[in-house]
Amino acid sequence: MFGKLALQSLLDRKGSVVLSLMAMTVSIFVLLGVEHIRHQTKENFSNTVSGVDLIVGARTGSLNLLLYSVFRVGAPTNNISWETYKTIANTTKVKWAIPISLGDSHKGFRVLGTSSDYFEHYSYGSQHHLSFIKGKAFHQVFDVVLGSTVAKKLGYQLGDKLTLAHGITATSFSLHDDRPFTVVGILAPTGTPVDQTLHVSLQGIEAIHIDWQQGVKMPGSTITQAELEQAELQPKSVTAFMLGLESKMATFRVQRAINNYTKEPLLAILPGVALSELWQMMSILENTLLLVSALVFIAACLGVSAMLLSSIRERNREIQLLRVIGAPAYFLFFLIELEALLIALLSCVLATGLLAACLVFLQDYLVSHFGLHIGINFLTENNLYLMLAMICASAIVAIIPSFSGYHQARTVKH
Amino acid sequence: MAIDLKDVNFHYPEEPNQRVLHIPSWTLSAGEQVFIHGPSGGGKSTLLSVLSGLFLPSEGQVNVLGQRLDQMTSRRRDRFRARHIGYMFQQFNLIPYLNAFDNIRLASQFSQQKKTPELHEEIQKLLSVLNISANDWYRPARHLSIGQQQRVAIARALINKPELLIADEPTSSLDPLNKEAFMGVLLSIVAENDITLVFVSHDLSLSNYFNRIESLSDINRPEGSA
Ligand SMILES: Nc1ncnc2c1ncn2[C@@H]1O[C@H](COP(=O)(O)OP(=O)(O)OP(=O)(O)O)[C@@H](O)[C@H]1O
Ligand SMILES: [Mg+2]
C-alpha cells in the first residue's frame, strides 16, 4: 500500500517527475557507459598482444620498445643484428620467434616486415589467433597482407598492387615505386594495431632497400623484379622480435639472459607488465572521465531532490492528512525516500535498456571506425555494484527532501 | 469518560505569549455527541488537534478514552490516534490521486491492527451505507464531487472502528441538500456504533441534530488568568 502511495503520488506529478527521471536516466547511462567502455578498452588494451612471452629490442626504454613493436608508435632507436636474432631464437628454451622489421609505410599506415610465423603465433585477446577474411599469408617476396582497417579505408582488394614509401609519414615522397607489392591476404578485424598494419616478408623489406643507401635511393638501379625474386635476400638486421617460450617458468631467466647479452645491448620486456605500465599512464584521463560522469550523476541526484523538495511544499495538506490518519512523522521521511528510490530504480532500468540498445546498434560502427571492440554485456558484477552504489547515493541525497518532509509532518498545521 | 480535560493551556510555539487555549475543566462521556460552536479564530481547530494528540498541551491533563495523551510519546500518540480516533476536516479529507477505496485502505494501514481478510468487504459495506455507487469506488478522489468526498471521508474516518470521532466543520463546503444528507448518515452511523462525537462548526443551524450544544467561549477562556 505504501509503495502504491509513493507510486501514485509520483504519477500525480508526471511533468516534473518525468523530467528528473530523464536527467537521472541520462546520467546513469553516461556513468554506466563510461565505466563499461573504460573496462572494455582496458581489456582490449591489455589484450593487444597475448601469448607472446617476451619482446626483445635494442636497449631503450621499455615503454618505447612496447610502443613501437606493438603499437607501431614512435621510432626504434637501433636495430638488432640478424646474428643476434638467430642466436637467441635458437636457444633451447625458445619455442618460437617472430622477427619484426619496421621503418616503411603506406599512406600513413605502418609496414611490418616479419616472417610467416607471425600469422601462426601472434595472438591477441584471450588467445585469439590472427585469421584471414580473404586470401592467405605471404609467400612471395612482393606479397603483402593487409590489416582490416587498411583494406577498408584504402579500399584494397586481393590482387591490387601498391607501393611502399620509405619512412613513416603519410606524405613521404621517397617511394619504393619501382617495386609494387600485390595484396594476397586481408586479416579479420582484431581491434588491435594489427588492423592498421601492412605485413610483408622480411625479404620484401630487404628487396625494396637493396639499392638504397642511408635512406636515399641510388639512381640508375638495374636490378629487375624478376632478378630480385630469385636473389637470396638475407636480412642483415631486424627492429625487434617476439618470443614464445617452452615454459612460462623460464620467462624471467630468459629475460635476464637477454638483458645481459654481451655482444649487443638488448632489452627484453614482458608485454603484459609493460602494457599495464602504459595503462597506468593513461589512468589520469580515464579517472577524469569517470569523475566527470560521477559529477553528472550527483547533479541529477540533486535535481531529483530539488524536485521532491518543492513537491513537499505543495503537499502540505496531504502530509497533514496522513498525520491525522495516524502516520507518524518519520513515515513522511520514508515516503519521500521511497519516491526517490523509485525514481532511481526506474532510471537504472531505463538507462540499462538504453545502453544495451546503443551498444547493439553501435557495436559494428565502433569496430569498423575506431577498431574498438566493445562487448554488449555490460551487466558485469562491477557495474551491478556501481548501480547499487548509485541507488544508495540517490537515497543519501534524498535525505534532504525527506528530512524536510519529516519536519513538515512534525510541525503540522491545521 | 471519553474526554476529560483539566487546566489545559495551549499556545503555538511560534507565539509563546499568545495563549490560544485555556480550559479549566471539560468532560464528555462515552457515547455522547457534542456540538461546539464559536467564532472564527476562537480556537476550535486547535482544541481538536489537542484532543487528537496532534498537538501537546503546553500545560494540563488531556485524558482521552482513559489514556493520558499528554504523557504519551509521540509515537504512541500516533498509534493511538490511528486506532481510536477518526478525524474529518472541512475539506481535503482524501489523498486526491488515490481512489476512494485506497484512501480508506491507507487509513486502515496505520492502525496496526491485524489485517482482517474482510477489510475489503468492510470497505465495500461502508461505502454502500454512505451511498457511494460502486462505479465511483475506483475513481481518483479528486474526480468525486465534494459531497461524495465528504461521505467517503466518513468511511475513511470510521474504518478503524474508532471510539471517538472528531469532525472539524465537515459540512461547510456542502450545499444545504448535501449537508442534510451528510448529517443524517453521519449521525445514524455514530448512533448505531455508539461512537462519541465531537462536532465543531460555526453554523448554528446544525445544532438541532445534537442534544448537547456548547459554545467554545464557555469552555475556553484564553484571556483568563494563566
Ligand atoms: N499554526 C499556527 N501558528 C500560530 N498561530 C495559529 C496557528 N494556527 C492557528 N493559530 C491561531 O490560533 C487561534 C485559533 O485558531 P483556530 O484555527 O483554532 O481557530 P478556529 O476556531 O478553528 O477558526 P475557524 O473557524 O476559522 O476554523 C487563532 O488566533 C489563530 O491565529
Ligand atoms: Mg478551524
Q: Per-residue pLDDT tens for B86-96?
A: 999 888 899 99
Out of A278-282, A395-399, B176-180, the most confident range is A395-399
Average pLDDT over residues B207-222: 90
- pLDDT for the residue numbered A336: 94
Does the CB of A7 have a partner CB in chain B at under 8 Å?
no
Confidence of residue A229 (pLDDT cuts 50, 70, 90): low
Express as a percent the part of chain B with pLDDT over 90. 54
- pLDDT for the residue numbered A74: 78
Confidence of residue B115 (pLDDT cuts 50, 70, 90): low
Nearest to B86 by CA among B146, B27, B156: B156
Q: Which of B94, B99, B102, B109 is the best substitution to test chain A (most A C-beta atoms within 10 A)? A: B109
Nearest to B75 among A4, A5, A328 (CB): A328
Q: Distance, CA B116 to ligand 1 centroid (Å)?
A: 39
Which cell goes with A24?
Answer: 537521472
Q: Distance, CA B90 to ligand 2 centroid (Å)?
A: 8
Nearest to B78 among A2, A9, A328 (CB): A328
Which cell goes with A264?
Answer: 649487443
Q: Give the domains, in start order, of chain B with CATH numbers.
A: 3-219 (3.40.50.300)
Nearest CA to ligand 1 atom 9: B46
Q: Find the angle CA(B146)-CA(B148)-CA(B149) to the nearest 5 degrees.
A: 60
Q: How far is CA A251 from the centre of its chain?
A: 26
Confidence of residue A247 (pLDDT cuts 50, 70, 90): confident
CB contact under 8 A, A327 and B97: no
Does the CB of A220 have a partner CB in chain B at under 8 Å?
no
Which cell goes with A35?
Answer: 565505466
pTM: 0.77
Q: Evaluate whether B32 touches B211 at the Cβ level (below 8 Å).
A: no
Residue A287 pLDDT exceeds 80: yes
Residue A170 pLDDT exceeds 60: no
Residue B215 pLDDT exceeds 80: yes
Residue B172 pLDDT exceeds 80: yes
Q: Residue B25 is which amino acid?
A: S
Confidence of residue A64 (pLDDT cuts 50, 70, 90): confident
CA distance A53 to A242: 8
Q: Per-residue pLDDT tens for A376-393?
A: 788 888 889 989 999 999
Q: Distance, CA B67 to ligand 1 centroid (Å)?
A: 26
> What are the CA-CA distances from residue A72 to residues A66, A100, A111, A168, A195 (Å)?
9, 11, 9, 10, 11
3-state secondary structure of A268: strand
Nearest CA to ligand 1 atom 4: B12
CB contact under 8 A, B98 and A8: yes
For residue A159, count CB atoms less than 10 angstroms from its CB and return exposed for 0-12, middle for 13-18, buried for 19 or more.
Answer: exposed
3-state secondary structure of A331: helix
CB contact under 8 A, A326 and B110: yes
In terms of pLDDT, which residue wins out, A334 or A273?
A334
Residues in contact with ligand 1 (CB, 6 Å cut-off): A 413; B 12, 14-15, 20, 38, 40-46, 202
User: Predicted ipTM?
Assistant: 0.90
Average pLDDT over residues A27-32: 91
Nearest to B78 among A12, A318, A326 (CB): A326
- CB atoms inside a 10 Å sphere around CB A322: 24
CB contact under 8 A, B110 and A325: yes
Q: Evaluate whether A133 touches A222 at the Cβ level (below 8 Å).
A: no
Residue A259 pLDDT exceeds 70: yes
Confidence of residue A55 (pLDDT cuts 50, 70, 90): very high
Q: Per-residue pLDDT tens for A355-376?
A: 999 988 888 787 666 666 777 7
Express as a percent the part of chain A with pLDDT over 70. 89
Residue A277 pLDDT exceeds 80: yes
- CB atoms inside a 10 Å sphere around CB A402: 25
3-state secondary structure of A372: coil
Hey, which residues does A97 pair with through a beta bridge? A243
* Residues around the ion ligand 2 (C-beta < 5 A): B 45
Q: Which chain B residue's Cα is nearest to A324?
A: B87
Q: Residue B147 is which amino acid?
A: G
> What are the CA-CA distances from residue B123 to residues A85, B107, B119, B153, B171 (Å)?
92, 11, 6, 12, 22
Q: Which chain A residue's Cα is nearest to B158?
A: A325
Query: If you average pLDDT over every residue of chain A, what do you get?
Result: 85
Residue A220 pLDDT exceeds 70: no
Q: What residues of chain A lie within 8 A of the CB of B165, using their CB? A: none
Q: Distance, CA B187 to ligand 1 centroid (Å)?
A: 27
Among the residue ranges A155-169, A386-400, B51-65, the one predicted with the least confidence is A155-169
Residue A162 pLDDT exceeds 60: yes
Residue A46 pLDDT exceeds 80: no
Q: Per-residue pLDDT tens for B64-73?
A: 999 999 999 9
- pLDDT for the residue numbered A371: 62
Q: Per-residue pLDDT tens for A65-83?
A: 888 888 887 777 788 898 8
Q: Which chain A residue's Cα is nearest to B52?
A: A324
CA distance A50 to A334: 53
Nearest to A326 among B82, B105, B168 (CB): B82
CA distance A364 to A361: 7
Average pLDDT over residues A153-182: 75
Nearest to B4 by CA among B21, B30, B26: B26
- Give the residue numbers in B contacting A (CB under 8 Å), as ranges: 13, 45-46, 48-49, 52, 54, 74-75, 78-79, 81-83, 87, 89, 92-98, 102, 105-107, 109-111, 156, 168
CB contact under 8 A, B54 and A2: no
- Which residues numbered 316-345 in A keep a CB inside 8 Å of some CB on B? 317-318, 320-329, 331
Residue B112 pLDDT exceeds 90: no
Q: How far is CA A88 from the centre of its chain?
A: 32
CA distance A71 to A56: 15
Q: Per-residue pLDDT tens for A291-349?
A: 998 899 999 999 999 999 999 888 888 998 999 988 899 999 999 999 999 999 999 99
Identify which of B46, B88, B91, B215 to mutate to test ligand 1's pocket (most ligand atoms within 8 A of the CB): B46
Instruction: Look up residue B99 and give its DSSP letter.
Output: B
Does the CB of A14 have a partner CB in chain B at under 8 Å?
no
- pLDDT for the residue numbered A224: 58
Average pLDDT over residues A87-101: 89
Express as a percent the part of chain A with pLDDT over 90. 29
